[in-house]
Structure 1
Amino acid sequence: MPGHTRLYRRGAAYYHRAAVPTDIKDSYGKREETFSLIIKDRDEALRRVRMDQLFEAHRKQLRTGDIRAPEPELSELTPAQIETVKQAYLHHLLDEDEEVREDGFYDPEHTSEPQAELPQPTWEERRDDNAFFNKAARYDLARGKRDHIIRDEAEEVLTWDGLELRLAQGSPSWHKVIRALQEAQVQAYEGIAKRDAGDVVPTPPYPVDLSDNSATATRQDSISSHVRLQNAVDAWTAEKSRAWTDKARNDYLAWMTAFAEIAGNKPLHRYNKDDARALKAVLLKLPPNWRKKPGLKNLSIQEAAALADRSGMAPMSTTNLNKALTRVGAFWSWAEAHYDEVKPSLFKGLSVRATVSARDQRSPFSVAHRSRTPRSRSSAG
């Protein structure tokens, strides 16, 4: 009979107690979701124990405004990626158990408090259910059995922040991922049984550092797609500062900050040519020294470029525009050499020909611009 780590019994009825995943815990507002399944049949309870839609809806709310194309499907996962998925799941199971223990167990013999609407399990009920699920997990692992519940669990875990792996439905890696999660279940139940005996079993750290919104892998064989832009820029700066003057350093970082403001601080593998073109489109409208202009300096770079364009302000020179593109392009050339899965040549071919003004270069991007009467070069400044 299949088991599920989120199901527990209170008396004769079953309850679902799902710890809020690590990646959304800080913003979710509570540490878990708990509700009665209002049923007493274990098989029926197992079929109704999913909370994924609720958690995923919250993730989508967090991503509002982060518009990007779906991640490309992976045909297979590397052994390092599968191990990271396993460690993330092991952390989640033991962290969940730790939080249950922090809240305490219901003890009807030593409390006069009424039973809560969403009651805590007794220690004995929690122990018995964990023992049952441990036996079921070992049974499935030993026989290579894979039911729909563990497959659904695997699909959810792959979406967790810092993992974000979109695996093709027919991939042979699904069997490996599911087995890795089953192994994590067995390891977790062993640790939980030791905790039941009063032993100290620490929860292992989550294998991806989310403390500063980064996704830098902490394992030995890191997955480069987990490195976010800001972390890579920090590493690039540390290396290149050996040769940069203070003025050059400030210039490079100013344009990298502009790029990050436009494209966001994403894992490196998510950036593509569209992000490079978005920077160029803004630069084509942006006037020189815009941060010193009273009407623009308090705006975002996109807002400043749009307002300057509407106001007919002269954009920066072609020389400075190309310099900015070269500065940012230099980072991406470095990143391509230092990290796997970085798309090649993001800024190749984007420089503006010096014989064409920046204002004239903007016209292909907008129907509205094409419909305008062209300004004379003298009036454009």
Structure 2
Amino acid sequence: MIHFNKPYLTGKETQYITDAVVSGKISGNGKYTQLCQYFFEQKYSFGKCLLTTSCTDALEMAAILINIKPEDEVIMPSYTFVSTANAFVLRGAKIVFADSNSENPNIDSNLLESLITLKTKVIVPVHYAGIACDMDSIMEIAKKYNLFVVEDAAQAIDSFYTGKDGIKRALGSIGHLSAFSFHETKNIISGEGGMLVINDKQFASRAEIIWEKGTNRSAFFRGEVDKYGWIDIGSSFLPSEVIAAFLWAQIEYLDKIQKRRKQIWSQYNEGLKKNEKDGDFKLPQLPDYATNNAHMFYLIFESLEKRNECIARLKNKEIYPVFHYLSLHKSPFYSNQYSGEDLIFSDLYSDTLLRLPFYYELSDDDIKLIIHTIKNE
């Protein structure tokens, strides 16, 4: 049986968790939290990093930091996970859904200006499969209309964007704020877990307060204030040291994990190229400005029926692929609130995109079997 996902353990997770527990500091923002945050700030030139209990929490923190209020409008793709929208809906925002582009499920930046109104406050690009959105265009539009950009980089750790200036930047380092996930399906994991990146310094001190339940507790423990209290809204966003210790074990093996994942991605790509030429499906398309972090490998079929045929063929061999998002603008929760145009490509990906099994310990023989089954050989 070949499952869609299997969490990879480096072997150091329980060692570091034990160390955290024995240290007597397991409530969060201790040794391992700080190790993880410093690593990301240094390796990827991120602004201030704050670990969170999920990417959802990081997005909710971003919505608070930007002071989202009822009737503010937030532009994002419809083809995304519900957390992208929920974070802003919880603050009363109106979600303005944009279509994906024809080449991949990322937001079509050419549509953004037509969706901006006097109430627009934020653009939320989602780097689907770790493939960069057109960040130059998005940041230029945001600057022109005085908008914030929150990168949903849940799938984008260790992926990069090369701008028109030729500079290669890590995804998550470009927008004013960004959010990452370390869910068990991601490249590096902590079971659940996430991170908020604050690239705009105006948000740095307040982010820490919101992270600490609305208190200046962190400043107190650094000796910057002589007492701490409730000074803003916030919630319990920071994870325990147990989660951070698990993540640190993964971070230490990041390069090794990425090397294997890229091998798997390349094997899929090479093995299925001929079928793409024959018109059976389309393979992932990477724009010239994007790198590949091998977060997932997906196929795009010409119809829902063709995708279902492939799923049935794979499941008959006990191989379990998974399709992905359903367009949020058609969801039971939001469909009666949506008044925009048809989002053709979002719906296309909802009906035709299929994710193949993808995890560190997927063997070469497993990959060959999956490829042969897809080809119906």
Which structure shows the higher strand fraction? 2
TM-score, structure 2 as length reference: 0.23
TM-score, structure 1 as length reference: 0.23
Greater relative contact order, per chain length (Cα 8 Å cut-off, separation 6+) = 2
Which structure shows the higher helix fraction? 1
